Amino acid sequence: MSNVPRPRAAIVYNPTKVDAGRLRAQVERIEAEKSWGPSLWAATTLDDAGEGATLRLLEQQPDVVIAAGGDGTVSAVAQALRHQGVPLGILPTGTTNLFARALGLPLGSRKAALRAAFGDTVRSVDAGRVDATLESGETVQRAFLVMAGMGVDAQMVVNTSDRGKSTLGWTGYIAAIVGSFRNNERFELTYSLDEVAERPEPAHTIVIGNAGVLPAGIRMIPGARIDDGLLDVVVLRPLGALEWARAVGWFVRTNTPYLPRRADARAAATGTAPVSTTSVVHGRARAVTLAAGEAQDFEIDGEYLGRVTAASAWIEPAALRVRGSVGPDAVAVGAVAARAVAAGAPRAVRTAAVNEPQVSELHPN
């Protein structure tokens, strides 16, 4: 009999998202199939979303830590695994499954997701870090895997009811997106990219992305990659129906397979070139700082953080290893959902968007 120790997994699961008994049976079948040893197990609690449990399990040197739950569980486990060398596996059981979606992991089959998590493919990806100053003056430090944002982006999280998410899935976010675009007011924004200050001006939202998907699976940031060592930054700052039309038009075109013919317009739609117009800014940097004239709602990976007055964010290249992702990022295009957003915009915006089909108009030069 061989004395070589068998590999083993550690499972951190959210008991409100998974049936523990059924999950154990599924894991035992894969363990037997792949000749792995018995897995270690830990459940999340109200006081520990998974970070503490993961740190304790790491003391027993597992070969993979599998997060079984929604985005909150995945983010908490990933927070503990940064720079540890032990890969993350994901069994996505939430509504939006942002990070699993960004990695191109199986979403519709738990069996396929577990096979990926126990698989041999390991990929290194970036993680973001953010220090945010709350309205109270308290500073909160968090890692993020997909994106963090202030303004419309955070309002989508605030406006989406738990009932809408649970009964409608990701489509439950559509009404929230429409409402956020309609109701969100501009705020005074000051920000810098790699210590280069941009001109202070009113904005509706700023999104700092490691990957490019919104909670609804819609591509917010074209060309964002989870392993390029850079953060993508999008600022929406339209004023009036025409500029809103251009912003919505840019948003829809980044979510459609039909690309413009002009090289500069195509680059804007695919994210291979920066964008800077009166309505949309898209750039990249290793570090970002921002400040708002008044406290604004702030979200991290689809979870509401609170009202924030200032924040600093930076990228940690190759900070996390993941099992099962075959990257480059394989995010499904959300053209239908993006058009639903446009359809919910004010009538003047919808009409102007229809009459302005040329992406090249976003590039006056």
Give the Å distances, CA to CA, from 345 to 176, 241, 342, 351. 12, 10, 5, 10
* CATH of residue 115: 3.40.50.10330
C-alpha to C-alpha distance for 12 and 266, rounded to whole angstroms: 43
Which of 74, 102, 120 terminates a domain? The answer is 120
Q: What whole-number percentage of the chain has pLDDT above 70?
A: 73
The residue segments making up the domain with residue 232 are 127-319+331-362
3 inside domain: no
The answer on 233 and 151 residing in a single domain is yes
User: What mean pLDDT, rounded, does the chain reach?
Assistant: 80
Torsion sign over Cα 325, 329, 335, 341: positive
**Which token pair is 345?**
């915009």
CB 105 within 8 A of CB 93: no
Alpha-helical runs (H) found in 254-308: 263-270
C-alpha to C-alpha distance for 322 and 89, rounded to whole angstroms: 6
Three-state DSSP class for residue 321: strand
The amino acid that residue 22 corresponds to is R
The tens digit of pLDDT for each residue in 334-349 reads: 433 444 444 444 443 3
Which of 63, 85, 120 terminates a domain? The answer is 120
Cα–chain center distance at 35: 34
C-alpha to C-alpha distance for 262 and 260, rounded to whole angstroms: 6
The answer on 105 and 152 residing in a single domain is no
The tens digit of pLDDT for each residue in 10-25 reads: 999 999 999 999 999 9
Question: Residue 79: its pLDDT value, please?
Answer: 93
Mean pLDDT of 209-219: 72
> What is the reported pTM?
0.79
The answer on 193 and 342 residing in a single domain is yes
Q: Cα angle at 12 between 9 and 17, to 5 degrees?
A: 130
The answer on 149 and 235 residing in a single domain is yes
* Partner residues linked to 235 by β-bridges: 206, 281
* CATH of residue 193: 2.60.200.40
Which of 60, 92, 120 terminates a domain? The answer is 120
Overall domain count for the chain: 2
C-alpha to C-alpha distance for 213 and 98, rounded to whole angstroms: 7
Q: Which of 202-206, 251-255, 320-324, 348-352 has the highest mean pLDDT?
A: 320-324
